[in-house]
Amino acid sequence: MICPKCFAEIPDVSAFCMECGSRIKEDTLDPLYAEGSDREVYPELARANLLRMQGKHEEAIDVCRRILGRFPSNETVHALLGDIYADQGKLEDAIQWYELLVELAPTNVHYSAKLHNLRAMHAAQVAPPPPIPDPETKPAKPKTLAYALFGLLALILIAASFVAGARMNALRQAAAQPIRSNAASLSPAPNNETVRIPPPNPVDSPPSPAPSSAPTSGFAGMSAVEMELAQKLSQQLNGTPVWCAFDPASSRWQARIRIQSGVLSKTRVLQEAVALTRAFYQQYPNTPSLSVAVIAPSPNGGDVLIFSGDLNAQLAALEPNALNEEQAQILLQQLQAWWNPTIHFQS
């Protein structure tokens, strides 16, 4: 229904508008009116909602509690109390009032949807904050940081212009080699069995690069600048293979990480993607976004692409190891990414 006075959207079962307190129903057989709300609750609800709009939350709560003392099953008062606490940012109290409201009206989809939104907001609110920078480390001056960024971008563009022609064939080969698979390797596990990644063969694993040796990352087709960045990211990720590429046409970085072994779950894959993004933004903190891909070894040989998406600096502020399943589900709803539909992920 739509309130005829303030045009707010309200549930069909409500007798009063939760925004302005106007009376909606004239039917004296309504359960709220049967309690005596027709004469007593309406003016008090209107006053409580007016106090709420004026920012006098405590006074509005007192009025609502007096109404509940006489009419404890009044749904509109429960909803108004939940909204008042939500306005103050007290989401736990707002959730409690809407839980009581859903118990009073279990078939009301509007109340259930509002309760679901409040719980999602509360889960995002209690997520661990990003790490606090060291107070002793003084931030770079804006001008110095801007000059350094422009200089770095100029060097990258100059290097990319020299190697762009020679890299085209090598990049095609590199794109084909790490994602080799066949129909059997992409099919889901039978009987919903959990997919496990086989551990890498120690004989085929590349040796850790010595401090004086040329930088390597386990993937071919990279320029010297890209290979140097890939080596830095791999070292930050405890030797996990990383492949990097810079696209001069779109001025965007791409990075790919390879999960070596373990059980595949969307939370695990998301942790690896966030860890790679976090390591990248420590090198390039002012980059708008990073194209991230996650691959894993196939049981029949070669690698298979399981995830691809764009991650930004806001996601890089998260702590990957502290990302639990509930927080991962919230993040997955906000993130636009591609998941391999033929892979059976552990729930």
Task: State pLDDT tens for residues 41-55.
Answer: 778 888 888 899 899
- Mean pLDDT confidence for 70-97: 90
pLDDT digits (tens, 9 = 90+) for 55-79: 999 999 999 999 888 888 888 888 9
Query: What local confidence, expressed as pLDDT, does residue 102 receive?
Result: 92
**Are 240 and 277 in contact, with CB atoms under 8 Å apart?**
no
Tokens 């989809």 found at: 109
Lowest mean pLDDT among 109-118, 120-129, 179-188, 256-265: 179-188
**Residues 78 and 188 reside in one and the same domain:** no
Does pLDDT of 95 surpass 90?
Answer: yes
**What's 40's domain CATH number?**
1.25.40.10
If asked whether residues 162 and 290 sit together in one domain, one would say yes
- How many structural domains are present in the chain? 2
Tokens coding 200? 């890498």
* Structural domain that includes position 58: 31-125
Q: Which of 326, 249, 263, 252 is nearest to 296 (CA)?
A: 263
Strand partners, 196: 263
Helices H, strands E: what count in the chain? 12, 7
Q: Are 17 and 52 in contact (CB under 8 A)?
A: no
75 and 220 in a single domain? The answer is no
Is the residue at 216 inside a domain? yes
Q: Judge if 85 and 167 occupy the same domain.
A: no
Q: Are residues 114 and 173 in the same domain?
A: no
10/19 Cα distance (integer angstroms): 9
